[in-house]
Structure 1
Amino acid sequence: MGHRNPLVRTALAAIMLVVLPSLTAAQMSHQHASEAACEETDLHCATKVTPAFAPDGTLWLAWMAGGHISVASSKDQGATLSTPVQVTRERLNLDWGPDARPKLAIDAKGDIALAFSIFRDRAFNGQVLTTRSSDGGRSFDPPKPITASNESQRFETIGFDPSGAVFAAWLDKRNRVPAQQRGEKYDGAALFVATSKDGGRSYSDAKLVADNTCECCRLALAFDGAGRPVVVFRNIFEGGVRDHAIVTFSDLATPGEVHRVSRDDWQIAACPHHGPSLSISPAGTYHVTWYTNGKARKGLFYAQSRDGGKTFSDPLPIGQANRSPSRPQIAAGPQGLVMVWKEFDGQKTTVNLMMSRDDGATWSKPAPIADTADSSDHPLLVSDRRHTYLSWMTKADGYHFQAIGSEP
């Protein structure tokens, strides 16, 4: 560490609970931006950047650029980055879909599990690849498929449970052809899971959780207070309705009952490419944000569950409908709940913020905290033991990483 990365200049802005628009002038700026035709593997060429904090407070970034996956770490909340390590050894046709990105998780020893997907053909059939580092991110094992199935897999998500096991979930189309051979209609894909007890070196056989899920939206994963995985996904309900569902596992391999998050009645025979976000607070409350274009409601929404996902509160609309709100993210951090999303006013894209200090009962007024005049990645949230941070990659202004604070 200590190597100052010339591609990133980070300012940490503490945002008060009631954020004033004038504070946006304090956001960081960058001399190096992400360029559309950039073929290098460095961070300034990245289209997708994923952050994660290790238990010791080290920030890790994984990104896609130049057909490769790379990682770097920071001991000072992103002010300086280590020399990047290239995870992949050859240029790959990485899954560039709107909801696709590399995923990484770090255990208590500093070992890293990483997963990403590639396109195997022009029909967008995918394959989920996994790798791990057992030397603190200095090197990674050769990536290999998470499952032996040759059918399409995409939209993976991974995380370490409290015992140190890796839990992985993804969308998988292996049940499509057998159903068609039986003369049955098969819509979408299926939610599959697997686990690794060796830090991501090998995974168990894939296990089916739910059939007929929407095939093109990211999954949301969190662990409850007992360390049980909870997954939110866009399901295909009766009549082709693509609303969100949630499942809580009783252990790493045993899914519980699938429950509906809300009844938006979005009937669509197409891919929304717009997945949900999930966070579980210390009180055990499930907090979910999502996008819908249904008959019952349209736009971004938030709801909470205080009974383990069995029932949810009435959806709360988020953002200004006339500014195309999108990509909501929610995180239960050290200073309460943080929610961010993007809006577009016709000229610039703005990341907006709301916060709650009472477990989602009330929220602060929306306020802008960052903006850009060109294309950008999803705004992401990541927390250490002190703060929640916004991570946002933009084409015109480079990579943003900033602290989000609250009133004392």
Structure 2
Amino acid sequence: MTRTSRLRNGLAGLAIALLCPLTAQAQMAHQHGSDAACEGTELRCATKVTPFFAADGKLWLAWMAGGRLSVASSTDGGKTYSTPVPVTEQQLNLDWGPDARPKLVVDGKGTVAVAFSIFRDQAFNGQVLTTRSSDGGQSFAPVRPITASNESQRFEAMAFDQDGTVFVAWLDKRNRAPAKAEGRSYEGAGLFFASSRDGGATYAEAKLAQDNTCECCRLGLAFVGPGRPVVVFRNIYEGSVRDHAVVTFSDLTTPGEVYRVSTDDWQIKACPHQGPSLTVAPTGTYHVTWFTGGKARKGLFYAQSRDGGRTFSEPMALGQADRNPTRPFVLATQDVTTLVWKEFDGERTTVMAIQSKDDGATWSKPRAIASTDNASDHPLLVANGRQVFLSWMTKADGYRLQAIGDES
């Protein structure tokens, strides 16, 4: 297939995704089959790779390849890795949706908690599964569902609290059946959550934070303080407007009021398959970036909140519109806030980056930091202390962990 053909097919796939969820899912299934460079379970064959730096500086990776989920670690900044450990021995129908990927967090004792989702049927109903390793990633306990509900769960997000508690949020359709039984319409899914105080061995009963949210986009999750998670999600407002919202918890079991991040007025009865990214700076500032196709604005945008998510700054546009900017990710460290996204010029996919040293008040000029001429995963950011890295899996070049220097 020529590069021009890939571009034409990619744009057609995006249009289909916005207009027809079922056809879009079939299109994604076709694309997924060609994302990996090989069919094995090793890292070079991965389609989705998720990084995590533990407090001791060890880099951990979880990846999807060959129908299995594997975990490995590196003590030399990604130059070499330990022997990969399979999370499950059997092949699974892993959730291959554009916004789906495995999650892992590691505490100070070396306990590794993992969450991921699978498809349970041909209707794309999912199930969130969890497991953990209590021996430093040498073996994993049998996987188990995060909730007893048999309804669809997808798009889990996972984070560690300061005391080692694992917090997970996900999208859940358990309220769909009761609504149908009562003759009521039901749109979207519920934002559910649960926490674990034993390193991911068991989770508390799932609770609802917000119902009728968009059912097919990743969540942004961070902590604003001990016991206070923050979740950014694509909500469904009146008229099937799918704009982003934020909820800040007062504690691990009590979600607060839901506030709107921006009024984009994206009225669509379909799955955008592009969720937001969230980071909370040491100052307490919320930094959010997202994609929209709304009437008010289209493309990638960034905004910040300095009052706990109650109000946000005027959205700032990202990227060059004629290069299809997509998949933004933001991360704040002690010194700098870094934001990356992908652009495609018809020949190559390039990761662009901007940085702010004043908590989002001003930003550097966009600069290209990586590129590929073939399929690639979303660009992610991860930090080891004050050093920020780009984490990016590409079909042509494999996995790369690339340090990002401060832009003066």
Alignment TM-score, normalising by the size of structure 1: 0.90
Query: Contact 2:282–2:334 at 8 Å: present in 1 too?
Result: no
Specify the alignment match of 1:233 in structure 2: 233
Specify the alignment match of 2:357 in structure 1: 357
Query: Contact 1:225–1:282 at 8 Å: present in 2 too?
Result: no
Relative distance call for 1:344 and 1:407 in structure 2 (3 A) is closer
Structure 1 unmatched ranges of 5 or more: 1-33
Specify the alignment match of 2:126 in structure 1: 126
Task: State the alpha-carbon separation in 2 of the partners of residues 43 and 407 from structure 1.
Answer: 31
Task: State the alpha-carbon separation in 2 of the partners of residues 226 and 62 from structure 1.
Answer: 26
Aligned residue type for 2:83: T
Aligned residue type for 1:222: A
Aligned residue type for 1:127: Q
Query: Contact 2:227–2:252 at 8 Å: present in 1 too?
Result: no
SS of the residue 2:225 aligns to:
coil
Query: Contact 1:95–1:101 at 8 Å: present in 2 too?
Result: yes
Specify the alignment match of 1:50 in structure 2: 50
Q: Does residue 114 of structure 1 match 2:123?
A: no
Query: Contact 2:35–2:375 at 8 Å: present in 1 too?
Result: no
Deviations 1:286-317 (A, max 9, x none): 00000000000000000000000010000000
Task: State the alpha-carbon separation in 2 of the partners of residues 373 and 333 from structure 1.
Answer: 31
- State the 1:400 CA deviation: 1.3
Task: State the alpha-carbon separation in 2 of the partners of residues 150 and 237 from structure 1.
Answer: 27
Deviations 1:107-148 (A, max 9, x none): 121111100000000110000000001111111101110000
Task: State the alpha-carbon separation in 1 of the partners of residues 35 and 250 from structure 2.
Answer: 45
Task: State the alpha-carbon separation in 2 of the partners of residues 43 and 35 from structure 1.
Answer: 13
Aligned residue type for 1:130: T
Task: State the alpha-carbon separation in 2 of the partners of residues 67 and 374 from structure 1.
Answer: 21
Question: Structure 1 residues 35-44 or 350-359, which shifts more?
Answer: 35-44
**Larger helix proportion of the pair:** 2
Task: State the alpha-carbon separation in 2 of the partners of residues 215 and 114 from structure 1.
Answer: 22
Q: How many residues were matched structurally? A: 375
Task: State the alpha-carbon separation in 1 of the partners of residues 378 and 318 from structure 2.
Answer: 16
Deviations 1:146-205 (A, max 9, x none): 000000000001111011111110000000010111111110111000111111001111
Highest RCO, 1 vs 2 (Cα 8 Å, sep ≥ 6)? 1
Deviations 1:241-263 (A, max 9, x none): 00000000001110000000000
Deviations 1:2-40 (A, max 9, x none): xxxxxxxxxxxxxxxxxxxxxxxxxxxxxxxx9647221
- State the 1:352 CA deviation: 0.2
Relative distance call for 1:397 and 1:37 in structure 2 (3 A) is closer
Alpha-carbon RMSD across the aligned residues, in angstroms, is 1.1
Deviations 1:325-347 (A, max 9, x none): 00000000243000000000011
- State the 1:227 CA deviation: 4.1
Question: Structure 1 residues 226-235 or 87-96, which shifts more?
Answer: 226-235
SS of the residue 2:39 aligns to:
coil
Task: State the alpha-carbon separation in 1 of the partners of residues 62 and 226 from structure 2.
Answer: 28
Alignment TM-score, normalising by the size of structure 2: 0.90
**Percent identity between the two aligned chains:** 71
Aligned residue type for 1:63: W
Specify the alignment match of 1:249 in structure 2: 249
Specify the alignment match of 2:223 in structure 1: 223
SS of the residue 2:267 aligns to:
coil
Task: State the alpha-carbon separation in 2 of the partners of residues 35 and 342 from structure 1.
Answer: 16
Structure 2 unmatched ranges of 5 or more: 1-33
